[in-house]
Structure 1
Amino acid sequence: MSIFDGTLSNIENGLSYTSLKQKTIAQNIANVDTPNYKAKDVSFHQMLEDAKNSSFQANKTDSKHFDFQSTNRTPGVVNNRQLSYRNNGNSVDMDKEQASLAENSIFYNTLIERENGKLNSLLTVIKGGN
C-alpha cells in the first residue's frame, strides 16, 4: 500500500502540463508581432498520444535493423498552420492568449493548493494528529 495513492504523481503531471502551457502562451505573446509566426497550443490529447508512443522501445538484435528516429519537438505542442489573423501571416490572437494565461494560472494555483492540502494531511498524520 502506498502512502501517496497516486495523488501526488497526478498533481505532478498536471503541473508539468501547466508549465508547458505557460511556456507556450508566453512564446505566443512574445511573438505577437513576428511576421508569419503561427501560434502554438498545448493539447492534452496530443500529450497523451505522445506519451503512449514514446514509451515504446524496440530491441535491436542485429546491426542490420533500422534505428527508430525521434523528433525534436516538444510533446503535446501543436500549431495551426491554416490560421492567420493578420496580413503579415501572424496567427496570434492576443485576447485568446490572455484568456488562456488566466485560465492556466487558475489551474496551476488549484493544483498547488491541492498538493499543499495533501502534504499537510500527511504532516498531520506524521505528527500524530497534533
Structure 2
Amino acid sequence: MKLFSNTFSSLEKAMDYSTLKQKVISQNIANVDTPQYKKKDVSFKSVLDEAMGTRLEANKTSIRHLDFKENGESGYGTVIRQNVNYNHNGNGVDLDKEMSDLATNQIYYNALTERLSGKFNSLQTVIRGGK
C-alpha cells in the first residue's frame, strides 16, 4: 500500500527543474559581457524523461519524420544555443530575455512551494483528525 500519492515526488522534480533553470539563467546573466559566450538553456524534455523514468521515442512512419533529440544537448538537461548572437563580440545572451525568464521562473518556483506547503498542511490536518 502506498501511503502518499506521487504528488510529493512530482513537486520535488518540478522544484529540481526550476532550481536548475535558475542556475542556468544566473550563469547567462553573469556572462552577458563575455566574448563568444553562448546562451545555455534547460531542456524540459530531458528533465521530463528523467522524471518519468523513460525516454520518449517517436513513432516514425516515414523516414522523413524527425527524431526526438536535440542538437547540442549536454548533461543535466542543459542545451547550448550555438546559432544566436546578440552582441558584436559573438555573445549569445539577451539580457532582457534572461531577466524575463528569471522572473517567470521565480513565479513558477513560488507556486510550487505554495502547492507543496498546502499538501503538507493537508497532511497535518489529517494527522490531527481534522482539527
- The answer as to whether partners of 1:33 and 1:90 remain within 8 angstroms in 2 is yes
C-alpha distance after superposition, 1:17-59 (max 9, x if no partner): 00000000000000000000001000111333467579xxxxx
The structure-2 alpha-carbon separation of the partners of 1:87 and 1:22, relative to structure 1 and needing over 3 Å to count, comes to same
What amino acid is the match of 2:17? Y
The TM-score, its normalising length taken from structure 2, stands at 0.79
* 1:104 and 2:89 matched: no
Paired with 1:99 and 1:87, the residues of 2 have a C-alpha distance of 22
Partner of 2:40: 40
Q: Which has the higher contact order (CA 8 A, sep 6+)?
A: 1
Structure 1, unmatched stretches of 5+, are 55-72
Q: State the alpha-carbon separation in 2 of the partners of residues 16 and 48 from structure 1.
A: 11
Percent identity (aligned): 53
User: Number of matched residues?
Assistant: 112
Q: CA RMSD in A?
A: 1.8
Secondary structure, aligned partner of 1:75: helix
- Residue in structure 1 matched with residue 81 of structure 2 by the alignment: 80
| 1:26 to 2:26 alignment | yes
Number of the residue aligned with 1:119: 120
Structure 1 position 16 matched with structure 2 position 16: yes
TM-score (norm 1): 0.80
C-alpha separation in 2, matches of 1:105 and 1:13:
16
User: Is the alpha carbon distance of 1:90 and 1:107 closer, same or farther for their aligned partners in structure 2, counting shifts above 3 Å?
Assistant: same
